[in-house]
Amino acid sequence: MPFRWALLFSSGAALLLMLAFPFTRLFPLTLGCLVPLMLALRGQGWLRGLLFGLLFGFIFQSYIMFWANFFGPPAYLFLAGYKTVLPAFFGLLWGWIGRKRPELYPQAFVAGFVGLEYLQTFGPFGVTWGMLSHAWARYPLFLQVCSLFGPWALSFLLLLANASLFVALVPEYRSQRLRWWLTSALLWLAALGFGGWRLQQDWGPGTTFKAGVAQNSMGRDVRWDPNFAQTAVQNLERLTLSAGAKGAQLIVWPETAIPYRGFLKLPQLTFEIGMLGLQSKAYIIVGSIEKLDDEYKHTVNCASLVTPQGAFEGRYDKQRLVPGGEYLPLESVLRPYKIFDRVMRYIPGEHSGGVFDCPDLKVRPGMLICFESMVPYLAAQRVRDGSDVLVVATNDGWFGTNPAIMHHFEMAIFRAVEQGRPVIQCGNTGVSGMIDERGRVMEETPINQAVLAVHEVTARQQRTVYARVGDVLPWLALLVFLLCPMLPKGREASAGNL
């Protein structure tokens, strides 16, 4: 393919993938949106592969990470650029394999893209925004396969569809077409059959209780305004008492809901919130920011458990922070520059357990604060530690109306399916709601409205296959990808013969 057309195709693939996500939500595009990228990279060699992977990655990541602009252009550009590194590197390898081993190029692309999505979750800047599978979050039938091998399973099926379309379009792969089409069709049918079976499966009795979420909707313009602090607390108290009156036994507040720093060191306010637990006769999970006495004036993002008896019985400090937003990498070097003034000074706290005990309900909520719900392994850790229901407390108010606010909620849908646990999510401005263990949204609130939601939730003890075996699929995909260039050539090293 000529260079200028390859540039156009790489850019087009990124644009098509963007259209698959909220709010456009043209999710069927994921069945073929990567075909232009596959065509662009085929036979280009490593240098052009690097360039086209870089172009594809930066266009898509600039869209999907635009929410980071709230923390300033430097943070946004840094995160978008960082998330482009792996697509550029894989583009280099795809371009090289496409030239040296064209007969294995489709296999290398599928395996490599699964590995690419997996590797994006690692490191201090690891986030899972924009996985192929995320576009299908609202369709439970297709999601059930994630209970077997995680979100990578659905991404793998979508990549099979892309590769099947690719070999149909390229004459050199005519001898592979039947093989790809049959494999893709059989695996899709198996996934749909499993999905239908799992949605109908009787899981037996669990521990059913009423959960409530108090979405107080304090926008980013007034959230930390001292004139609105008391109003915020009063709104939360009103919503909590209403939830208690409706029978809620576990009430979740948003991340950093208390608009006073150092809440746990304010006896009058902790007494007031403790009395609220007593009045509502419910457990309350309260989000706050706690100050540390160090030279950098660091803070901790905290969730505390208030019992129906009015006592504070548990605490969890957020461990996975948002780089460029909640903390500044290379702080000692970069902090003096004013362009980084909007980046906050959070650090991971000492209370890292993450599982609360509610003996009156006989449930153990596993806490995930804000972006901790983005990555599968933290939810998996909560389940290994004994959690039977997952709780996400978040403040997505700084998203405004950016599609990221919906994208974040939909990641919680995947955590529910992967671990076989219901999820209760409470956001400051939304989206809040309850999701059952099969990924079906039972309750969902509108954004930017002060609302209360109460719904029955059933805690579960069963462990999914994915909870037991972990990330076998992406590791296997990475192994296949690395082996592709090393496999001995057949009688004829051409696209038509494997």
pLDDT tens digits, one per residue of 454-486: 999 999 999 999 999 999 999 999 999 999 988
Higher pLDDT, 281 or 337: 281
In the predicted model, what is the mean pLDDT of residues 139-146?
Answer: 99
The answer, yes or no, to whether residue 290 has pLDDT greater than 70, is yes
State residue 53's pLDDT score.
Answer: 97
Least confident among 73-87, 88-102, 360-374, 452-466: 73-87
Closest CA to 106 of 442, 497, 410, 495: 495
Report the DSSP pairing between strands 451-459 and 365-369: unpaired
What's the whole-number average pLDDT of the chain?
92
What is the separation, in whole angstroms, between the first and last Cα of the chain?
Answer: 23
pLDDT tens-place string over residues 46-67:
999 999 999 999 999 999 988 8
Q: How does residue 388 score in pLDDT terms, banded at 50, 70 and 90?
A: very high
Q: How does residue 68 score in pLDDT terms, banded at 50, 70 and 90?
A: confident
The CA distance from 160 to 182, in Å, is 10
In the predicted model, what is the mean pLDDT of residues 174-198?
Answer: 98
pLDDT tens-place string over residues 20-53:
998 799 999 999 999 999 999 999 999 999 999 9
In the predicted model, what is the mean pLDDT of residues 376-397?
Answer: 96
State residue 296's pLDDT score.
Answer: 66
pLDDT tens-place string over residues 418-452:
999 999 999 999 899 999 999 999 999 999 999 99
State residue 1's pLDDT score.
Answer: 86
Least confident among 188-197, 312-321, 385-394, 482-491: 482-491
State residue 310's pLDDT score.
Answer: 97
State residue 97's pLDDT score.
Answer: 95
Higher pLDDT, 256 or 497: 256
Higher pLDDT, 72 or 360: 360
| Cis preceding-peptide flag for 23 (omega within 30 of 0) | yes
Instruction: Read off the tokens for 274.
Output: 């403790």
State residue 331's pLDDT score.
Answer: 74
Which of 3-12, 285-294, 397-406 tops mean pLDDT? 3-12
Instruction: Read off the tokens for 113.
Output: 């893209």
Least confident among 67-81, 204-218, 457-471: 67-81
State residue 424's pLDDT score.
Answer: 99
In the predicted model, what is the mean pLDDT of residues 320-348?
Answer: 79
Instruction: Read off the tokens for 278.
Output: 């007593």
The answer, yes or no, to whether residue 194 has pLDDT greater than 70, is yes
State residue 148's pLDDT score.
Answer: 98
The answer, yes or no, to whether residue 156 has pLDDT greater than 60, is yes
pLDDT tens-place string over residues 220-275:
665 556 667 888 899 999 999 999 999 999 999 999 999 888 999 999 999 999 99
Least confident among 70-84, 198-212, 354-368: 70-84
* Inter-residue contact 410 to 134 (CB < 8 Å): yes
Higher pLDDT, 306 or 345: 306
* Inter-residue contact 453 to 212 (CB < 8 Å): yes
Higher pLDDT, 360 or 400: 360
Could you tell me the CA-to-CA distances from 396 to 67, 408, 432, 447 in Å, in that order?
10, 9, 10, 10
State residue 326's pLDDT score.
Answer: 83
State residue 490's pLDDT score.
Answer: 58
* Inter-residue contact 120 to 102 (CB < 8 Å): no
